[in-house]
Structure 1
Amino acid sequence: MLVGSLSLNTKLVFADPLTTTLAPTRPRSVAAFTSVWAGAGSFAGFAYVDGEAITHAKSDFERDREMALRVFVHGVPETTVVWETLREGVEGPSVSLALPGFGNPLPSGFLPTKDQYASWLTGELKKVEGPIDLVGHDWGALLVLRMATAGDVRLRSWICDVGSVFHPDYVWHPWAATVITPGQGEYMLLRRRQSSPEEAVAMMLGGGVSARDASEVFAAHDEVMSRCILGLYRSAVPNVAADWGADGYAPTSAPGMILLPTGDQLDDGALSREVAGWLGARTEVLDGLSHWWMYDQTGKAASVLEKFWAALE
């Protein structure tokens, strides 16, 4: 259970349940979130009071449980660090899930294909008791679209970027095309792992990612992550829609939004808008923002997400 367990003679009091976030501990899985939630006394704003007020305490606790959990899914080659800045700018409980093999070990027997990652994410989300607002970026966006269209997980809402990559006419960008090519992909990723930190992080820095976070992503890129990148892309030939598209072109049961950062060179705005139309989703232009729109310093990206979620209340 997401909420863990509490003693029947314990009262859990939130100083302000609507603004308390889980950012200080940075849980990277639903299991870790569960552990954090159960140990909530470690958060500022919590207090434990033994005794008679347990009835009132349960209503407070249940009210917080009913808040939607914001679940963030990162892309490739990235780690959960890319979400930290944005998570600090939005209200409500949240968790950033770490894709297996991206800065963490691969479970035994895990094959890094798009279907395996989709099954993993389905399992993680089914551990959540309560409404889910799912947010994805890059490959995380494709997994979000899979969750939204396959219907295996009940969502309150979904948000993603690079909607064009879900389009049947999408052609992989040059970096992905190289990864997919046998021999060339292995060599390119090996060179990246062996390059200097300055060379490896240049693209992310140019897209607005902080030097600290870009360096953390580079440090996490090991041979395991390279194998996972190769497996993901090579399971999506000629594109993601080749098999996922069979379930993907009808209005989703949960309201959705596809983000359109005007500086994202990996996206095709026209194709993204077409995918949004098929799914009954709205679109939101993020003027001047890059592929890493979550590093927006103006607060616009956070505001767009907050307004979308507020409209669901």
Structure 2
Amino acid sequence: MTVVLVHGNPETDALWDPLVEVLGRDDVIRLSPPGFGARVPHGWVGTYLDYRDWLVDELARIDGPIDLVGHDWGGNHVVNAMMLRPELVRSWATDIIGVFDPEYVWHEAAQIWQTPGAGEQFVEALIGGSVQDRAGRLTALGITDGVAAKIAVGLGPEMGAAILGLYRSVSGDVLAEEGRRLGNAAVRPGLCLLATEDHYTGSEEIRRRAAERAGARTEVLEGLGHWWMVQDPVRGAVALTEFWDALATV
């Protein structure tokens, strides 16, 4: 069995450090999306479909069975990949499935990144200054100090450009249209991690609704926010492990 973790924005794979430590497994692979801790290939455009295809290609090269987990934009890439190639994994999990619901409204930061001019200024405010400055901004968002310091090292112009390209490729109702195919993901068991204090991913109602359409089970992480894997890695590990263990008994 192989556990594959995919992080999001504005992050590097250091985000998973606390969760990986608690899982205590030697079969964990962390995939870093281009621009988010991994180099950007020549000719890379960086639309949401480019990231979907990148993930599909990466999964096809990994010996399975694969239990796939995505957070934030990594969770979007997971769902997009599962709607296209669900047979590549044994199971999948995401904490952001609500963005595929027609009633989802992009959060304030996303709307700024999608706006020419304002988005560039907002990115510069995020990536500018010293490593310590950047770490402080990440800590203010809710990422713990030690992990924020590691991520801040990789928070630079390449990631800034990736943020803008990715968000601008999904303006309007693009993901809601993609969500019409959520049923395709039901070919493999899915898990919706619902952190109740995550205010980036839509209401509990739309997250549950999207999960149901994808045939996914919902696991509530009461009181945890967007960065649940650093806030309480033990609870995150328990939720994932119980999901995986249940698959083995089916």
TM-score by length of 2: 0.91
Q: Report the CA distance shift for 1:82/1:240 in structure 2 as closer, same or farther (over 3 A).
A: farther
Q: 1:165 aligns with which of 74, 85, 99?
A: 99
Measured in 1, the distance between the counterparts of 2:22 and 2:103 equals 35
Q: Say whether residues 1:130 and 2:64 are aligned partners.
A: yes
Tell me which residue corresponds to 1:223. Answer: 157
What residue number does 2:214 align with? 279
Out of 257, 270, 275, the position equivalent to 2:205 is 270
Deviations 1:21-48, CA, capped at 9 Å, x for gaps: xxxxxxxxxxxxxxxxxxxxxxxxxxxx
Deviation at 1:151, TM superposition (A): 2.5
What is the CA distance between 1:242 and its match in structure 2? 4.3
Matched with 2:90 is 156
Shift of 1:87: 1.1
How far apart are residue 244 of structure 1 and its match?
A: 2.0
Deviation of 1:240 (Å): 4.3
Q: Flag the 1:87–1:239 CA change in 2: closer, same or farther, 3 A.
A: farther
Greater helix content: 2
Q: Contact 2:131–2:152 at 8 Å: present in 1 too? A: yes
Q: Per the alignment, in what secondary structure is the counterpart of residue 221 of structure 2?
A: strand
| Count of matched residue positions in the alignment of Structure 1 and Structure 2 | 246
2:38 maps to 1:89: no
Aligned-pair CA distance for 1:84? 1.3
Q: Which amino acid aligns with 1:266?
A: Y
After superposition, the C-alpha distances for 1:111-153 in whole angstroms (9 at most, x for unaligned) are 1111111111110000012211000000001111112222265
- Say whether residues 1:104 and 2:13 are aligned partners: no
Report what 2:48 is aligned to. 114
SS of residue in 1 equivalent to 2:92? strand
Judged with a 3 Å threshold, the aligned counterparts in structure 2 of structure 1 residues 196 and 183 are, in CA distance, closer, same or farther, namely: same
Please identify, of 132-141 and 147-156, the stretch whose mean Cα deviation from structure 2 is larger.
Answer: 147-156
Deviation sequence 1:195-222 (CA, Å, 0-9, x none): 4556544454245522122122222121
Q: Which moved more, 1:80-89 or 1:205-214?
A: 205-214
- 2:3 counterpart of 1:70: yes
Greater length-normalized contact order (CA 8 Å, ≥ 6 residues apart): 2
Unaligned regions of 5+ residues in structure 1, if any?
Answer: 1-67
Mapped to 2, the partners of 1:105 and 1:300 lie a distance apart of 32
For the residues of structure 1 that align with 2:197 and 2:63, how far apart are their CA atoms? Answer: 37
The 2-side partners of 1:79 and 1:220 are apart by 7
Q: Does 1:180 align with 2:114?
A: yes
> Of the candidates 128, 144, 163, which is equivalent to residue 210 of structure 1?
144
Measured after TM superposition, the shift of residue 241 of structure 1 is 2.0
- Change beyond 3 A, Cα 1:240–1:218: farther
Letter paired with 1:159 = A
The offset of 1:89, in angstroms, is 1.3
CA–CA distance in structure 2, aligned partners of residues 222 and 251 of structure 1: 34
Task: Give the alignment's TM-score, normalised by structure 1.
Answer: 0.74
Q: Deviations over 1:154-205 (max 9, x none)?
A: 2100111022112122111000000000111011111222245565444542
Secondary structure of 1:135's aligned partner:
strand
- Determine the C-alpha separation between the residues in 2 that align with 1:200 and 1:129: 37
Distance in 2 of aligned mates of 1:181 and 1:87: 36
Q: Partner of 1:216: helix, strand, or coil?
A: helix
Q: Which one has a bigger Cα radius of gyration? A: 1
CA RMSD across the alignment: 1.9
Hey, what does 1:143 align to over in structure 2?
A: 77
The one-letter code sitting in structure 2 at the alignment partner of 1:87 is V
Identify the residue that residue 290 of structure 1 maps to in structure 2. 225
Instruction: Provide the rounded CA distance (Å) in 2 between the counterparts of 1:91 and 1:198.
Output: 30
Note if contact 2:95-2:194 (Cα within 8 Å) is conserved in structure 1.
yes
